Structure 1
Amino acid sequence: MLFADMLTRTPISTPLNVWLLQALEHSGLSQSALAERLDAVVQKKVDRSTINKMVLGKRSISAEELLRISEITGFDVPGEAPLTPTIAIAGKVGAGAQVPVFDVYPKGAGPQVECPPGLSPHGVVAVQIEGDSMEPVFSAGDLLFYTRHTHEGVPADVVGHRCVVEDEDGMGWVKQVKAGDEPGLFHLISLNPGANTMWNKRLRWAARVRLHWPAELARTV
């Protein structure tokens, strides 16, 4: 079944925790065995307690997890499961104030947000704006979605664009990235005209902002 097809189905009465119990029985896998195999293929951290909470109905099952569980157990996905793809929120970033960045690349256990319409969830991570130093471009609580094509370094194609970056001190920022005065150095241009530019900074990584999603539209799961 195509993932896109699954997303168009309407809800059914069978709870997903019941479906999970059926999938475990069908496969003969223990909760621990399923947790180990699922943890290797999904973005969020999964252990036995995670599976147990799913079985008890105390934790939701994301669209990605549902699809992977079906693949692992060989048990069909519910024909009309209410699925919405989700994206991990890596942490928070600032503009005028330093904010330690917590990056989940490639795996994280942070909260999830429903994927905005028109954006593929594959390889995409979100960060949340902290503070009002990016007004009027971005507001506190807004989400920025990005994709890191390399784990380290600054790809040439992000220079000149608004990016989520992590500096050498582990601080996260949203800035326009421009080439610095020497190779390996970058000027970080503030989005707020009243804020100071950060000159000749070394960066651990930078990723271009793909989408800005206002806080009032974001739905965490």
Structure 2
Amino acid sequence: MITHSEIWFAIDRLAEKTGRSPSGLAVEAGLDATSFNRSKRVSGSGKDRWPSTESVSKILSVVGVSFEDFATLAQGTHAQGAAVPLIGLAQAGENGYFDDSGFPVGSGWEEVRVPGTGFDGVYALQIAGDSMAPVFRAGDKVLVDPSQTPRRGDRVVVKTMDGEIMAKELHRITAHKIELISLNPDYDDRELRRKDVQWVARIVWCSQ
């Protein structure tokens, strides 16, 4: 999977290749100047700290670098990252594209390259519409890993038994219901019965 060191290495290389410092890159993207400081990469207890998907998406947008090129930086100058299926939001809502656990089935997908290797079952979902703005906008690609157990506060993709696909923030999962917080304040939060949900998959990365 994507490693802590690969992501931070890619941010440092991105700053270097575009003639900026990590702090300058952060400021230009509208972030706090210390967002990418080395002191922010590990907590006081020694636990790895990761940059948020939003912060990385912002710096890629500022410098005009694609997610595929960022994947190359994460793996080194000549590495290409891993290729994963790219699925449109409309396709995701149809039957026959996923198994009951949310893993894509079949072949012939478009592909997108992402940092890291070992992405069995992971896929990229291309966002459409504004229901997930401002966090995810039309055209953004979110990397989804159905094998990871979603936790409170995670961004997730949910598919209902009726074929509805949505990206939300997970508030709580109980034995009988799933509570979701809308990413767009113009849209209502959702509370779904567990039996009405086909699968819930964790979003592990986002590219603008």
Task: Give TM-score scaled by structure 2 length.
Answer: 0.50
State which structure, 1 or 2, has the greater radius of gyration over its C-alpha atoms: 1
